[in-house]
Chains A and B, each alone.
Chain A
């Protein structure tokens, strides 16, 4: 029982980690980034390259890959997405436009990875050491990823709720036109939120690469999972992300242990549907006015 719970928590932490960047990009900047998973895999490749080519510890690699993720996303938003934001008459229109633009971007990022690394599977071993926690054996790399997911989640949550700039970000998430009335530079804040999401997805890619096997074409799996967690938790809500991720992870591991591993997907989607039926805006989402 304890083992199933621990496994579930760690899996859930990973799901939350994967989804946090998307909730920022989608919730605040209103960019439905379909190339999200590709960026995650790109960060995994970066980490793989740093680890195998330069013997750089992936945890130190975070210090390189995350700022790059932030920078690239910032440029992307400023160059590619700002014209769309300007042109879009409403938020809904922006969602559709950004969906198409990032769909195209997905192919570009994937193509670059295929050219650089080929289509094969990649995997490396880092800190896959058994550690005993409360009498249960767990993998250290997964434990670290879980710890950092919680840390990042809480840090971002506190930054958004306790700082002035965080409040501005939330204001833009709630109502961009009203935010403009109180002298918030909506474009800058959106760009920052999108870039922050880019940094988060880079962090997720690095951490996940420590224990998952990936290839240039596995991005879509992560986009889907992230989308599920984000929608279930409430778009733009970090705490919702964490809770939804943990709920999915726990349900998956409990079902795999006590019922049948074949039913994990079914339970995931049942939970997802159940939440949406009761709370259409997600666990922590506010209903649209």
Chain B
């Protein structure tokens, strides 16, 4: 999830901001008291700048909801008493330097007990060394990087919960192969991708995978970040009449491509778009037309834990916003993991918490999690909107995987 991180951010940087002021307000209650009176948790998130759109949907509502829930229950359970969480937060202004500075401040000046990670691949990579050096657990839940296994090895305190771009592309191709074997689709594929981190990684992984599976890649083009009219791409793809349309796109493009496909009456059997497909905004904008649209992410929408999470998220966040159906649940699960690890250790001992995260089993809203080499063993890579919910359909072996609706129903006039 790297969209827009490389965009012209220098102009949009907002000076320290409201978030920082709110965060600094919590200076007083510290003191090296013998009995811990609060657990200090710090985070720097992109409240402004190009990353703000993603952080506001996926990360911030989960952090806030988790803190609220834990404190409502009396706090984190350390030994035999409950200790409330105290939050220190900053705005990283979507910039790696700012994120690094904010984390330094959290560590050396605010002396927080634990740090929650920033939003996005780029910033998580940027703060990795800092958290590693200071010995804080780093539960990266919004970073997709092909280097995740290598990073987990280099920084044993880091946990890469969203997986690799290659995983996303390969799972998609596996699903296509299965559908072709079932005779539901042919073998013509049109692919477009955004010329930025996410699009480059995933299309680079998809190309060889598609070729190996003998798919015919009839159209394969990239477009620059921030392209405001994507109709030429959709029209070109439509003219080739492909069975499968794949877009490794960022949220504004995901919405733009879907809109344009609907306008142009482009109805491939499989319509797959990238980041943003799982956003509540997508459902809000396209309504019944989302039926059958595939995209990156997904979750087990039938599981009671997920249904309960969805309801709590709606009740907790501003304007009753829903979570996104990909990294949101993973983010919340990462907080549950952190909480369970802290409570099992029973005191603020970061090394022991890291150890517990590496080896323990965790009961989360996305099921039981036991990490292997600091990485989960299961991911949701392909989701599909079915009856207003974005269900995971791939990998098909995941618990709760739905059977995909293929072909996608034709777009309806709105």
Contact = CB atoms under 8 A, between A and B. Distances in A.
Given A128-B263, A220-B8, A261-B223, A110 B231 contact: no
B181 interface: no
B14 A257 contact: no
B273 to A, nearest CB: 13
A165 interface: no
Of listed A107, A121, A211, residue having the most chain B CB within 10 A: A121
Interface string B187-226: 0000010010000000000000000000000000111101
B84 interface: no
B20 interface: no
Contact of A123 (B48, B228, B232, B285): B285
B109 interface: no
Of listed A120, A137, A220, residue having the most chain B CB within 10 A: A120
Contact of A125 (B228, B236, B286): B286
Of listed B8, B94, B229, residue having the most chain A CB within 10 A: B229
A261 B236 CA distance: 11
A205 B17 CA distance: 25
Sorted nearest first, the 5 A-B pairs with minimum C-beta distance are: A119-B52, A119-B56, A256-B232, A213-B252, A261-B223
Contact of A212 (B221, B228, B284, B318): B228
Contacts, number: 141
A119 B48 contact: yes
Secondary structure of the A contact surface, majority rule: helix
A121 B252 contact: yes
A262 interface: yes
A253 B234 CA distance: 12
Given A211-B259, A261-B233, A129 B52 contact: no
Contacts of B281: 120-123, 213
A137 B233 contact: no
Given A124-B284, A128-B414, A262-B222, 4 more contacts: A14-B228, A118-B56, A215-B52, A217-B50
A173 to B, nearest CB: 27
B53 interface: yes
A128 B411 CA distance: 12
A125 B411 CA distance: 14
Nearest to A254: B232
A261 B47 contact: no
A257 B236 CA distance: 7
B11 interface: yes
A14 B265 CA distance: 23
A212 B252 contact: yes
A119 B231 contact: no
Interface of A: 3-4, 7, 10-11, 14, 34, 106-107, 110-111, 114-115, 118-125, 128-130, 137-139, 142, 211-213, 215-217, 219-221, 223-224, 249, 252-253, 256-257, 260-262, 264-265
B285 A124 contact: yes
Interface string B18-31: 10000000000000
Nearest to A260: B221
B227 A217 contact: no
B110 to A, nearest CB: 23
Contacts of B56: 118-120
Contact of B224 (A123, A211, A216, A262): A262
B53 A262 contact: no
B251 A213 contact: yes
B327 to A, nearest CB: 14
Contact of A215 (B53, B284, B286): B53
B260 A139 contact: yes
Nearest to B235: A3
B222 A114 contact: no
Nearest to A139: B263
B305 interface: no
Nearest to A256: B232
B228 A119 contact: no
B11 A262 contact: no
Contact of A257 (B11, B235, B413): B235
Contacts of B11: 34, 106, 220, 223
Contacts of B252: 121, 212-213
Of listed A119, A138, A216, A219, residue having the most chain B CB within 10 A: A119
Contact of A261 (B232, B318, B321): B232
A114 B235 contact: no
A200 B244 CA distance: 42
Interface in B228-259: 228-229, 231-233, 235-236, 251-252, 255-256, 259
A257 to B, nearest CB: 5
Interface in B390-414: 413-414
B57 to A, nearest CB: 5
Contacts of A124: 284-285
Of listed B46, B235, B263, B281, residue having the most chain A CB within 10 A: B263
Nearest to A252: B229
A193 B407 CA distance: 55
A137 B235 CA distance: 10
Contacts of A262: 195, 221-224
Nearest to B19: A114
Contacts of A257: 232, 235-236
A119 B232 contact: no
